[in-house]
Chains A and B, each alone.
Chain A
Amino acid sequence: GAVVSQHPSWVICKSGTSVKIECRSLDFQATTMFWYRQFPKQSLMLMATSNEGSKATYEQGVEKDKFLINHASLTLSTLTVTSAHPEDSSFYICSARRPRSGANVLTFGAGSRLTVL
């Protein structure tokens, strides 16, 4: 079955540094990937839609200069949290749509837990 791999699964960084999270579709090509963020006891909030070969589409309220998304190939999208602050600490999850899976069925990565000190 289709697999989405996310790396790292857990990262701690100092305030002011940047952190890159990778999302890979291991056995299928994904022209579109989605980045979500989840705060404790809250819903998955869509941050942005990552489009291969073009600019990402950000949801309202999400700072595109802070959360840099690059989708340079059909199997890799990256999210870079720039100048991270403690309030950026969260669980970040990427997803991609499986080919021939039926509409809107997303396969999610295992998520990346970011803790900013």
Chain B
Amino acid sequence: DQQVKQNSPSLSVQEGRISILNCDYTNSMFDYFLWYKKYPAEGPTFLISISSIKDKNEDGRFTVFLNKSAKHLSLHIVPSQPGDSAVYFCAASPGRGATNKLIFGTGTLLAVQP
């Protein structure tokens, strides 16, 4: 049972345009969400997060939006750059405690074309 879903396995965007990566979840107990970026043969690196008490969090070119009623979050990257090409995973957690585990989505491969 996939509790965190990324329905688009891949996305191709032109450099300078906006990239929108989507993520849906099913567990209403999730209240903290994160996005990770992963290059081949490397571990994921943290990108941005959002708590369920917010509906938007912005960090430079990256903005995460959360729609709790729809159990949906999205990551916007603008403007997109070729160096953004990677696999993006969304992750969710049922709390902020140190031992709370992260559940990852299946990932979306973003390709930013120069």
Contacts and interface: CB of A to CB of B under 8 A. Distances in A.
A6 interface: yes
B49 interface: yes
Interface residues of B, number: 28
Interface of A is mostly: strand
Interface in A94-117: 95, 97, 102-111, 113
- Of A95, A106, A110, which is in contact with the most chain B CB atoms at under 10 Å from its CB? A106
A43 B43 contact: no
Interface of B is mostly: loop
B60 interface: no
Contacts, number: 66
Interface stretch (B13-21, B67-75, B96-104): B96-104
A111 B49 contact: no
Given A41-B9, A43-B89, A104-B34, A109 B101 contact: no
Contacts of A110: 41-43
Interface in A66-117: 93, 95, 97, 102-111, 113
Contacts of B44: 44, 93, 108
Interface of B: 2, 4, 9, 32, 34, 36, 41-46, 49, 89, 93, 95-107
